[in-house]
Amino acid sequence: MVSLRVYMRSQEKVIKKRRKPKRLRRVSKNECETKKPEKMHIKAFIYATLTLLIGSPGLLRAQISEALALDTYNKTRTVLTFTYFYKQILENHPIVKQANLMNDAARQKLRETRGAGFDPKLKSDFSRKEFKTTDYFNIWKTTLSLPLPIGKVEAGYERMNGVFLNPENTLPNNGLGFVGISIPLARGIVTNVRRATLRQAKNMIEMAKADRQELVNEVILQAVTAYWDWYLTHRQYLLVREGYKLADLRFRAVKQRVGIGELAGIDSVKAKITWQKRKYELQDLQVKAENTRIQLSNFLWGDNNLPLEISGNMIPADQVPYSMDQTPTLGKLLDLAQTHPALISLGFEQKNLRVEERLQRDQMKPKMDLKYQILTNPVGTAQDKAIPVAFQENYKVGFSFEFPLFLRKASGKTQQIRIKQSQTELKIANKQREIRNKVVTYFNQLNNTRELITIQRDMVTNYEILRRGELRKFNIGESTLFLVNTRENQLIESRMKLAKLEAKYHQYYAKLRWATGQSPVE
């Protein structure tokens, strides 16, 4: 297994080697970019808070240096953008490649069907028998046949001689050439096995396209869900980490103030409990983020089926691949759902059954075939001048008739096909209902989540105002450390809930597109 970061760098080196020196230019990296340091207002807020809590510049500088050392987390991290992640799935995921082979297999099946039913055939047979110096017979027959949609055309040459030759096979010494046609008169005119199989093979191509799209959509949906799970756990980890840093600094500051008698000893216990709680949450989220990163690695593959692993120094991107204001109306979504790949596949399955039913009904007709051949001597013999007469008088004609009296075989197959048609119709009706309910469900969840995000953003803003106000009151002695920690916990929880809603929104958006049969990613 290869690290994704190493693979991305190797791909960049390959691209650079392929470029000509005169065309080298500096480009921005869409797939792999380094996240910028956090904004300075966070550091300023920490500085101001500690100044109010401690009042000692020397201690403050030491504690700030230790706290800001944690901020290097994002400075050396590589961002795995959703665009790059999605591109790698489409190009290298084994199941996507397997789905692409479904189209190739269907096309080759169509080619096989055309070859089996409509390719011209050249056939030659030779047999000879000799016993005790007696030449019993020599039989040589060469035929070129060209299948037609109805019947077939044949041309060939026969040469037969010998002492014990069947009289019906007696031919001129130089053999006999022929050109003929064989056509059905009842069964096989409307349809036949060759034409029915060809139609079914063409339908199989469309079925393969639909099945491929459905399979790819399923893989992409799983990948999108995994990516946003990773995004959520990482985002929650950052929020708790920020709260942990503040709790750690506040705990140290409170201990200093308790030591100089400005605060009671119980305040340090309260600060330590908050610090322990944040540390517990931080460690728990760190493991969750690690597990979601590992799960996301299942969808990343390089060239030549090389499995890639998302390294620990990679983080998800903050940007989102689509806006929250572009959801189509429910009516339009339901219209799109009518072209769902599953429904398309079942529709072509129904078409194949109709082709098969039509063929079996045709099998109930009598089998009557007419064969006609024009006979002539080979070119270059003494009878060449008589060829025009030979085309008028020399011929071979045949007629065959066959009809089953009870028709049990054809009628039994026809009834079986009709039963399959009924089963397929029930499948289509059930699938349509399932698709419609999924579309409506995800549409409602998406709209509800969008509204909740708007409300939650306002709540985050209000909790931020409360936290700042409580901190100011604490600094002037009108509040307690317990209330400060409570406001801070409420702010962190509201931010984590907002991150969860945002991740859920994008998952619901992908599921909604998937439910309508579209790709989960635009």
- Give the residue ranges of the chain where pLDDT is below 70: 1-76, 319-326, 378-392
pLDDT at 30: 44
Helix (H, G, I), strand (E, B) or coil at 453: helix
Sign of the torsion formed by the C-alpha atoms of 208, 212, 215 and 217: negative
pLDDT at 29: 42
> What tokens were used for 346?
């079942």
pLDDT at 498: 94
> What tokens were used for 186?
């009842």
Contacts of 173 (CB under 8 A, 6+ apart): 161
pLDDT at 57: 43
pLDDT at 17: 52
CA neighbor of 151 nearest in space, from 101, 113, 195? 195
Q: How far is CA 196 from the centre of its chain?
A: 31
CA neighbor of 299 nearest in space, from 223, 230, 218, 231? 223
Tracing tokens 């010998």 back to the chain, one arrives at 162
The neighbour count for residue 55, using CB atoms within 10 Å, is 14
Contacts of 345 (CB under 8 A, 6+ apart): 207, 210, 211, 214
**How far is residue 309 from each of residues 229, 290, 293, measured CA to CA in Å?**
17, 12, 9
Helix (H) or strand (E) holding 518: none
* Paired residues of 309 in beta bridges: 3
CA neighbor of 232 nearest in space, from 151, 116, 315, 143? 315
Kindly list the structural domains of the chain, giving each domain's residue range(s) and its CATH number in brackets, ordered by start: 2-109+198-348+425-515 (1.20.1600.10), 127-197+362-418 (no CATH)
How far apart CA 239 and CA 38 sit, in angstroms, is 13
CA neighbor of 217 nearest in space, from 344, 80, 348, 349? 344
* pTM tops 0.85: no
The residue type of 488 is E
Provide the 8-state DSSP code for 477.
Answer: T
Pairing of β 78-80 and β 32-34: antiparallel
Helix (H, G, I), strand (E, B) or coil at 379: coil
Tell me the pLDDT tens digit for each residue of 230-241: 999 999 999 999
Helix (H, G, I), strand (E, B) or coil at 128: strand
Contact (Cβ atoms closer than 8 angstroms) between residue 502 and residue 453? yes
pLDDT at 477: 81
Contacts of 361 (CB under 8 A, 6+ apart): 410, 414
With b for 16 or more beta-carbon neighbours within 10 A and e for fewer, the 192-216 pattern comes to bebbbbbbbbbbbbebbbbbbbbbb
Read out DSSP for 239-284?
A: HHHHHHHHHHHHHHHHHHHHHTTSS-HHHHHHHHHHHHHHHHHHHH
Provide the 8-state DSSP code for 340.
Answer: -
pLDDT at 6: 62
Give Dmax over CA atoms of the chain in angstroms: 135
Tracing tokens 């207002």 back to the chain, one arrives at 41
